[in-house]
Amino acid sequence: MIPDYGRAFALWRSAAGQEWDAYVAHPFVDGLGDGTLPRSAFLHYLAQDYVFLIHFARAWALAVVKSETLAEMNAASATVQALLGEEMALHRQICAREGIDATALEAIVEAPENLAYTRYVIEAGLAGDLCDLLAALAPCVLGYGEIGARLKVAGPAAPYLEWVETYGGEEYQELCRDVGALIDGALDRRIGTDHAASPRWGRLSERFTTAVRLEAGFWQMGWAAK
Ligand SMILES: Cc1ncc(C[n+]2csc(CCO)c2C)c(N)n1
């Protein structure tokens, strides 16, 4: 089942086609769901993801800068808070149990796949407006929502239960719907309510699909470490 995260997401998702499937159904994701993902691959991913989240929080902070209304500012700043507060705390918790402390996590050297992804998103926001930035941010937030929802329904295996419950849980699903509404509202305001009819639509779809490809590359980086 495809979750409803708004109009722009539905169109971008289908425009991304097989690239989207390669992201949300990567072997790494299957391994998370059925518990067969080697622990070493998961920990490698998680440590890289910690640095990813630091730069992703900067990208969402840029969304505050690119906002034109208080509603947009509040939605973007809530995501910055969720990232710095909750999501990074989950990573610290899991890694602490494996003997990797917060200082060690912060000192992780970024893999090129990691660096490419976050800097691509930040650049999309620096060069463009909030629509460009949100198109590049969307696959990350909403893709994890779709993955979490699917794995939760499938009945996840024990090893990665906590991960699946975080992204498949109602709180995260609500955040995805809020982000979907933020995207639709931001696009309505800047390019009109018929998104696909805008001359900017092709470029925005491209931004989305490039970020989807970088997400698949991120899974692949973790998968290769097994
Ligand atoms: C490579 C990678 N992609 C997506 C996410 C998930 N994620 C990143 S920011 C955000 C929204 C704020 O909570 C979410 C869910 C991740 N952790 N790592």
Residue 79 CA: nearest ligand 1 atom is 12
pLDDT mean over 1-27: 96
Reported pTM = 0.95
Q: How far is the CA of 169 from the centre of ligand 1 (A)?
A: 14
Judge whether residue 1 has pLDDT over 80: no
For residue 98 the two structure tokens come to 């494996």
pLDDT of amino acid 162: 87
Q: Whose CA is nearest to atom 5 of ligand 1?
A: 140
- pLDDT at residue 98, rounded to an integer: 84
Determine the distance from the C-alpha atom of residue 171 to the mean position of all C-alpha atoms in its chain, rounded to a whole number: 15
Residue 43 to residue 22: CA distance in whole angstroms? 22
Looking up tokens 């490039």, which residue turns up? 210
For atom 17 of ligand 1, the residue with the nearest CA is: 49
- Confidence label for 157 from pLDDT (cuts 50, 70 and 90): confident
User: Is-catalytic flag, 131?
Assistant: no
Catalytic residue (choose from 95, 131, 140, 176): 140
Computed over every residue of the chain, the mean pLDDT equals 94
Quote the ipTM score: 0.93
Q: Could you tell me the distance, in angstroms and rounded to a whole number, from the CA of residue 100 to the centre of ligand 1?
A: 20
- Pair 196, 122: CB distance under 8 Å: no
pLDDT for residue 9 is more than 90: yes
d(C-alpha 192, C-alpha 198), whole Å? 7
φ, ψ (nearest 5 deg) of residue 202: -60, -45
Q: How far is the CA of 213 from the centre of ligand 1 (A)?
A: 15
- Going along the chain from its start, the domains and CATH numbers come out as 7-224 (1.20.910.10)
> Which residues does ligand 1 sit against, CB inside 6 Å?
49, 52-53, 56, 79, 82-83, 87, 140-141, 144, 215, 218
- Residue 171 burial (CB count, 10 A): 10
* Protein residue with its CA nearest to atom 15 in ligand 1: 141
The Cα 217–Cα 167 span in angstroms is: 20
CA 158 to chain centre: 23
Q: Looking at residue 142, what is its pLDDT?
A: 97
Q: What is the pLDDT of residue 156?
A: 74
215 is catalytic: yes
DSSP state of 86: I
Q: Which two tokens stand for residue 28?
A: 């790494």
Among 66-70, 96-100, 110-114, 118-122, name the one with the lowest average pLDDT.
96-100
Residue 62 pLDDT more than 90? yes
pLDDT tens digits for 138-152? 999 999 999 999 999
The pLDDT of residue 197:
98
- Which has more confidence, 94 or 182? 182
